[in-house]
Amino acid sequence: MLQDKIHILCTRSIDQKLLNHAALMGVDIDTLSYIETMPIVSEELKQKIQSLAIENNTVVFTSMNAVTAVIGHLRSIPQWNVFSMGGVTKELVLQYFGEKALSGSAKNATALCERIIETGKVNKVIFFCGDQRLDELPETLEANGIEVEEYAVYTTEQTPHETQKNYDGILFFSPSAVHSFFSVNTVATDVVFFAIGKTTAATIKTYVNNTVVTSEWPGKEQMVELAINYFTSIKQS
């Protein structure tokens, strides 16, 4: 166990069991969401998704929010071939669409594109995403001759909060949350940042020169463990 309490801010809600696990390791985690996602509700989008549901489409999800938004528009579960990001996104795909529907998953967008391309059988994908989706996946697929038909099914809004507490580390899960945080906060130079993916890490570096530790795995559990292991190793060195 760590000798001194480590204080971490997680910019997304996490399960109580993760908070308890961290506490046992001497890590105190505060959670405060810096973005809010909302499903897009429109009759036009609903009808389009329902029409896609009766076709044998290859579908891509890179966000848990996209999965839940699409499910909210469906009358029944379609026979889609699904490629998905890992972590909670994959878990929701398995929960709603079933194991047979999952054609492949990966830890990040680059690896997911590789999985899709290497099948050699995909000519077109339906990409359900947010209104602030990143360019990497559609650009990579289209550069490899795969048509991408995309639908924004949820929106992301910044919800900035000022914090006066001094944290040892801060966890970010998206570039949007980074922008939201730094719109109202500054940090000391010794604060360590933890980021999911290279894009989120790169966004942090546009604001500060602090240490940034990057996780290529999309799960919250992996991020919390990464932070715990980082500070544990410092205490033990």
Q: Are residues 21 and 101 in the same domain?
A: no
Provide the number of structural domains found in the chain. 2
Asked which of 134, 156, 178 is the last residue of a domain, the reply is: 156
Residue 55 within any structural domain of the chain: yes
pLDDT at 232 over 90: no
| Residue 72 falls inside a structural domain | yes
pLDDT for res 233: 81
Instruction: Clarify whether residues 59 and 148 are in a common domain.
Output: yes
Q: Is residue 90 part of a domain?
A: yes
146 and 121 co-located in one domain = yes
Strands 124-130, 147-158: parallel, antiparallel or unpaired by DSSP? parallel
**Domain end among 92, 122, 156:** 156
Say whether both 21 and 106 belong to one domain: no
Where in the sequence is the domain holding 181, given as residue range(s)?
6-34+160-236
Asked if residue 164 and residue 135 are part of one domain, the reply reads no
Same domain, 104 and 192: no
Note whether residue 1 is domain-resident: no
* Nearest alpha carbon to residue 115 among 153, 93, 84, 139: 84
Q: What is the pLDDT of residues 164-199, one digit of tens each?
A: 999 999 999 999 999 999 999 999 999 999 999 888
Does one domain contain both 83 and 127?
Answer: yes
Model pLDDT for residues 131-146, shown as the tens digit of each residue: 999 899 999 999 999 9
Same domain, 42 and 118: yes
pLDDT beyond 90 at 236: no
Determine the Cα–Cα distance for residues 16 and 44; give it in Å rounded to an integer: 38
- Are 45 and 70 members of one domain? yes
Q: For residue 164, give Cα distances in angstroms to 17, 59, 159, 167, 187.
A: 26, 43, 16, 9, 10
pLDDT tens profile 47-69 = 999 999 999 999 999 999 999 99
- How confident is residue 1, by pLDDT bands cut at 50, 70 and 90? very low
pLDDT band with cut points at 50, 70 and 90 for residue 220: confident
Same domain (yes/no): 71, 177: no
Q: Which two tokens stand for residue 161?
A: 């909060």
Domain containing residue 46: CATH number: 3.40.50.10090
Q: 129 in a domain, yes or no?
A: yes
Q: How far is the C-alpha of 216 from the C-alpha of 219, rounded, in Å?
A: 9
With cut-offs at 50, 70 and 90, classify the pLDDT of residue 2: very low
Residues 11 and 42 in one domain: no
